[in-house]
């Protein structure tokens, strides 16, 4: 006998949790599709040579390799032929480069699949997890308006997920670069080191970070550090505040990068308003830098206002060239990613989401063995009206059947006893309210459908 | 520069094909849920020790192993720690055994995920493919009525997929066993060898198979072979024919297995009728045996009447004990599986399904740069009504925008020129009919929604 268990670092759910998780994925997909993104799926494994074009990164050290039984038996030398994808961006780059001539640009794709990383095993860290990505890829150029569409999508997703108040935080890498250049910190590597310290603001506090920036090896002057601290701690609360801040920055410096970053952020803010995103739900935050060697323009992070400890639940940004490893075409893009597995796990830990009602909406109970044909026919009529219906196929104490439905989270039980059969009706019990009502035997669905719809719109 | 390409043996689709494939999976899922099956997802990899409890099977020789970068660097000895699942049945067994005390039995689950097999690379053979499974697992016992629900689900799935006429073929392993025992072929292994020859009926023809069975090593008497050939070539065309055949078999033999198999098939047939499955869509076929060492009662295969060369598109059956490797509990079950990747590929090859319309329903065109705020607002109103809407964010020749929508399979283009703006309307063009009509600027969705709904019900 082998002990049944999953490998460490995976999130496997019981059915009611799986239903809740599935609803989260369905919501994300529906919103992505509503904004006109097209579905793409790529294989779980890629050729190692194709996947690992860059070496040495943290992510690459976490790669899982895949070997066939045959290759393993031969003890083949060198890297195994295939590896599991560690994100959806490298597969997207490979996909776009491979199918370039068959795609229309700007190419708008969504992809909701699992990725694999050999993370250290610990609570809340996953080795297998869903990413839900959208990207818009241009050929040669891609206007900044596409950067402005991303926060509108994020806004719709998190509004529909119903996870409380959230703030989409915006920044721009060009603006960052220009700002630091204006303070005499022009070197990219030096900027990166300063930004790394700023990233510790939440953990260490402003004073400690300021002290570090004044000390070796940074040795920045006190007034420079004061300007930096002022800059990175700014958060706009309204559209007007955001625009005023950009005006102020434009007045203080003449750096070309700074000007470009300001212009891009202005356009993003203007388009957010045009798209009806409430100004309370987004903010400028100059402390956001994201993957320093990858993003080149707008960057995004999204925080849950009442649960800042969860960290960013949706991040992304603008990049200059998606697929330089695979094609000579220049493919600039902008995208965002939701790590759905971690998000679900954390929301559940925080008590924000609970196990869902069952995906089964009606249980047709069985009172006596000879009633099974009737029960099956009632179920057929309910299903035809779109109701997910389970039939009790073998007789069992009625009380047990109700207990089962209650525990499983099935809201309605339908039953037809002798009395109901004589009157040509089916009795429906709503287990949540304990209400009972009769529906016509030949047309049992409408009353249940109406109740469920009333709940959705309530 | 690395040549962008997928590993051999995977099905990667361009967006319009992916949309068609996604619709297939969505339909299967919707039907599975409508019958009250609950979603389960398991990790793509399992511990090798857990996955490979039996050794030597064909499937086990096709396993892909997974190794972390660290384990690979250490050159760890023995089997790698993890392996990719090769079906959804072993993970189900592990899942049910692991979570046994948290589940309600009979446990009804559906699972739609990819599985991995190191198949020989050739056209139409896949190393990564979707399986769409349902199973009902009982604790200690599970009534035969659950066997009768499977064909009802199959019937609904293939009706909704719209792939033409199909036949669900039914058989029963007990009936087979009893029938052969009645002919003096009582030994299980010998039965298996005979059934293997019968499996070649379609390829070799009846005469050749009959000749083989009369020759060594079978050396069956001519009258025995005649009875076998008569038996395995029977196909019922109606419910009455099926029941009459079972009556005839019951009259001819007294074997206990034969009687049990006949009784089970009778109940399945009776329940099929109760569930409203048309008798033209199922048939008895005694030549069907399926995985000889696994199934123990009812077995199913489904063929497309106009495309028999595709083979069975949905198969399964009853088994005595799901998880004997992991638990002492006896867990009988019944289930079916649709190999969706192969099915989609074959239906596309056969011209039965084509690339779908885009998942995008409306393109809001942009006639001049200053119109973008208006375009975004129109899109917002369309999305609020559930229409998947893409916005042309940067001005471009109108003709190009129409060409793009047409090529992408987007049915509607919305545009607002000066004239429309003055009149407070948006012009909608249906690219499939070339019809144009105006809708109110503030409420542009209803007319489009109505058109789409009319098409669905048409």
Structure confidence at residue A458 as a pLDDT band (50, 70, 90): low
Contact with chain B for residue A105, Cβ under 8 A: no
Q: Is B454 exposed, middle or buried (0-12, 13-18, 19+ CB in 10 A)?
A: exposed
Tell me which of B88 and A309 has the higher pLDDT: B88
Length of chain B: 458
In the predicted model, is pLDDT for residue A338 greater than 60?
yes
Mutate to test the interface with A, among B38, B49, B333, B370 (most CBs of A within 10 A): B38
Asked if residue B278 and residue B397 are part of one domain, the reply reads no
| B87 labeled binding residue | yes
Which of residues 327 through 356 in chain A touch B, CB cutoff 8 A? 327-328
In a domain, B219, yes or no: no
Residue A22 lies in a domain: no
Given a contact cutoff of 8 angstroms between Cβ atoms, the answer to whether A116 and A91 are in contact is no
* Per-position pLDDT tens, chain B of length 458: 999 999 999 999 999 999 999 999 999 999 999 999 999 999 999 999 999 987 556 667 899 999 988 888 777 677 889 999 999 999 999 999 999 999 999 999 999 999 999 988 788 889 999 999 999 999 999 999 999 999 999 999 999 999 999 999 999 999 999 999 999 999 988 998 998 898 888 889 999 999 999 999 999 999 999 999 999 999 999 999 999 999 999 999 889 999 999 999 999 999 999 999 999 999 999 999 876 678 999 999 999 999 888 899 999 999 999 999 999 999 999 999 999 999 999 999 988 887 778 999 999 999 999 999 999 999 999 999 999 999 999 999 999 999 999 999 999 999 999 999 999 999 999 999 999 999 999 999 999 999 999 887 65
Instruction: Identify the domain boundary among B349, B384, B418.
Output: B349
In chain A, how long is the greatest CA-to-CA distance?
A: 91
- Residue at A383 is within a domain: yes
Report the alpha-carbon angle A387-B336-B273, nearest 5: 60
Within a domain: residue A424? yes
Name the burial class of residue A140, with classes exposed (0-12), middle (13-18) and buried (19+) by CB atoms within 10 angstroms of its CB: exposed
Task: Decide if A255 is inside a domain.
Answer: no
Contact A390 B35 (CB under 8 A): yes
pLDDT over 80 (residue A335): yes
pLDDT digits (tens, 9 = 90+) for A419-448: 999 999 999 999 999 999 999 999 999 999
Token pair recorded at residue B420: 């429309």
Classify residue A333: in a domain, yes or no.
Answer: no
B405 and B368 belong to one structural domain: yes
- Within a 10 A sphere around the Cβ of B442, how many other Cβ atoms? 11
B96 and B21 inside one domain: yes
Domain identity same for B53 and B151: yes
* Structural domain range at position A431: 362-457
Q: Is A402 on the interface with B (CB under 8 A)?
A: no
Q: Collapse the DSSP code of B200 into the 3-class scheme (helix H, G, I; strand E, B; otherwise coil) and give the result.
A: coil
A414: phi > 0 → left, psi -120 to 50 → alpha, else beta; which?
A: beta
B166 and B46 share a domain?
yes
A281 known ligand binder: no
CATH code of residue B377: 3.40.50.800
Gyration radius of chain A's alpha carbons: 28
Q: In chain B, which residues have their Cβ closer than 8 Å to the Cβ of A380?
A: 275-276
Pair B452, B361: CB distance under 8 Å: yes
Q: Is residue B146 part of a domain?
A: yes
Interface contact A449, partner B, CB < 8 A? no
Please tell me the distance in Å from A215's CA to the nearest CA on chain B.
Answer: 38
Q: Is B407 on the interface with A (CB under 8 A)?
A: yes
**Using a CB-CB distance cutoff of 8 angstroms, which residues of chain B are in contact with residue A44?**
44, 84, 114, 116, 128
Q: Do A38 and B359 touch (CB under 8 A)?
A: yes
B104 and B25 within one domain: yes
The answer to whether the CB atoms of A325 and B6 lie below 8 A apart is no
| A376:B407 CB<8 A | no
Do B303 and B435 lie in one domain? The reply is no
Least CB-CB distance to A5: which of B41, B98, B376? Answer: B98
> Nearest C-alpha of chain A: how many angstroms from B178?
27
Tens-digit pLDDT profile for residues A20-67: 999 999 999 999 999 999 999 999 999 999 999 875 566 678 999 999
Residues B245 and B163 in one domain: yes
The alpha carbon of residue A265 and the mean position of all alpha carbons in its chain are separated, in whole angstroms, by 23
Cβ distance B4 to A43 less than 8 Å, yes or no, reads no
Number of Cβ pairs < 8 A linking chain A and chain B: 265
Say if residue B337 is in the same domain as residue B410.
Answer: no
B256 and B326 part of one domain: yes
Residues 6+ apart with CB under 8 A from B193: B218
Pairing of strands A82-84, B362-364: unpaired
Dihedrals φ, ψ of A225, to 5°? -60, -40
Interface check B147 vs A, CB under 8 A: no
pLDDT at A8 over 60: yes
At residue A57, the pLDDT reads: 65
pLDDT value, residue B53: 84
Query: Which residue in chain A is spatially nearest to B146 when comparing CA positions?
Result: A393
Is residue B209 situated within a structural domain? Answer: no
B281–A contact, CB cutoff 8 A? no
- Predicted local distance difference test score (pLDDT) of residue B57: 64
In this structure, the answer to whether residues B324 and B244 fall within a common structural domain is yes
Length of chain A: 458
pLDDT tens-digit readout, A243-274: 999 999 999 988 999 999 999 999 999 999 99
pLDDT above 90 coverage of chain A, percent: 84
Q: Do B69 and A5 touch (CB under 8 A)?
A: no
Strand partners, A315: A337
Question: Which of these, B183, B271, B286, B175, lies nearest to B227 by C-alpha position?
Answer: B183
Residue A184 pLDDT more than 90? yes
In contact, B144 and B297? CB cutoff 8 Å: yes
Specify whether B151 is located in the same domain as B280: yes
- The count of structural domains within chain B is 2
The three-state (H, E, C) secondary structure of chain A, written as one string: CCCCCCCCCCCCCCHHHHHHHHHHHHHHHHHHHHCCCEECCCCCEEEHHHHCCCCCCHHHHCCEEEEEHHHHHHCCCCCCCEEECCCCHHHHHHHHHHCHHHCCCCEEEEEEEEEECCCCCCCCCCCEEEEEEEEEECCCCCCCHHHHHHHHHHHHHHHHHCCCCEEEEEEEHHHHHHHHHHCCCCCHHHHHHHHHHHCCHHHHCHHHHHHHHHCCCCCCCHHHHHHHHHHHCCECCCHHHHHHHHHHHHHHCCCHHHHHHHHHHHHHHHHHHHCCCCHHHEEEECCCCCCCCCCCCEEEEEEECCCHHHCCCCEEEEECCCCCCCCCCCCCEEEEEECHHHHHHHHHHCCCCCCCCCCCCEEECCCCHHHHHHHHHHHHHHHHCCCCEEECCCCCCHHHHHHHHHHHCCCEEEECCHHHHHHCEEEEEECCCCCEEEEECCCCHHHHHHHHHHHHHC
Q: What does the pLDDT average to over A169-179?
A: 96
């Amino acid at each position: 006998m082998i002990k049944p268990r999953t490998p460490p670092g995976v999130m496997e759910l019981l059915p009611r949790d799986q239903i809740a998780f599935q609803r989260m994925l369905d919501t994300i997909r529906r919103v992505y599709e509503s904004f006109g993104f097209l579905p793409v799926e790529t294989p779980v494994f890629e050729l190692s040579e194709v996947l690992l074009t860059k070496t040495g990164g943290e992510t690459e050290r976490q790669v899982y390799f895949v070997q066939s039984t045959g290759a393993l038996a031969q003890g083949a030398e060198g890297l195994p032929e295939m590896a599991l994808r560690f994100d959806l961006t490298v597969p997207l780059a490979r996909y776009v480069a491979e199918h370039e001539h068959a795609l229309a640009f700007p190419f708008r794709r969504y992809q909701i699949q699992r990725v694999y990383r050999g993370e250290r095993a610990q609570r809340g860290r996953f080795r297998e997890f869903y990413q839900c990505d959208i990207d818009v890829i241009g050929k040669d150029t891609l206007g900044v308006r596409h950067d402005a569409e991303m926060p509108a999508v994020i806004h719709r997703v998190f509004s529909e997920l119903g996870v409380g108040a959230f703030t989409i935080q915006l920044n721009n890498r060009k603006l960052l670069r220009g700002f630091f250049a204006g303070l005499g910190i022009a070197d990219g590597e030096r900027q990166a080191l300063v930004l790394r310290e700023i990233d510790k603001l939440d953990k260490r506090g402003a004073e400690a970070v300021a002290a570090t920036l004044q000390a070796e090896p940074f040795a920045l002057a006190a007034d420079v550090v004061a300007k930096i601290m002022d800059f990175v701690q700014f958060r706009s609360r309204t559209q007007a505040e955001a625009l005023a801040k950009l005006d102020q920055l434009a007045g203080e410096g003449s750096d070309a990068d700074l000007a470009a970053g300001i212009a891009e952020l202005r356009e993003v803010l203007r388009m957010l308003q045009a798209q009806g995103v409430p100004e309370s739900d987004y903010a400028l935050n100059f402390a956001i830098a994201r993957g320093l060697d990858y993003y080149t323009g707008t960057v995004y992070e999204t925080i849950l206002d009442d649960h800042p400890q969860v960290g960013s639940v949706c991040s992304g940004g603008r990049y200059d060239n998606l697929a330089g490893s695979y094609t000579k075409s220049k493919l600039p893009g902008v995208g965002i990613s939701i790590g759905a597995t971690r998000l679900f796990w954390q929301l559940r830990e925080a008590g924000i989401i609970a196990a869902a009602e069952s995906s089964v909406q009606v249980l047709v109970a069985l009172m006596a063995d000879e009633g099974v044909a009737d029960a099956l026919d009632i179920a057929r009529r309910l299903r035809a009206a779109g109701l997910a219906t389970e039939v009790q196929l073998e007789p069992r104490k009625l009380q047990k059947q109700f207990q089962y439905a209650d525990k499983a989270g099935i809201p309605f039980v339908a039953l037809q006893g002798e009395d109901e059969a004589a009157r040509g009706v089916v009795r429906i019990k709503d287990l949540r309210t304990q209400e009972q009502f009769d529906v016509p035997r030949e047309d049992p669905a409408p009353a249940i459908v109406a109740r469920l719809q009333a709940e959705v719109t309530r």
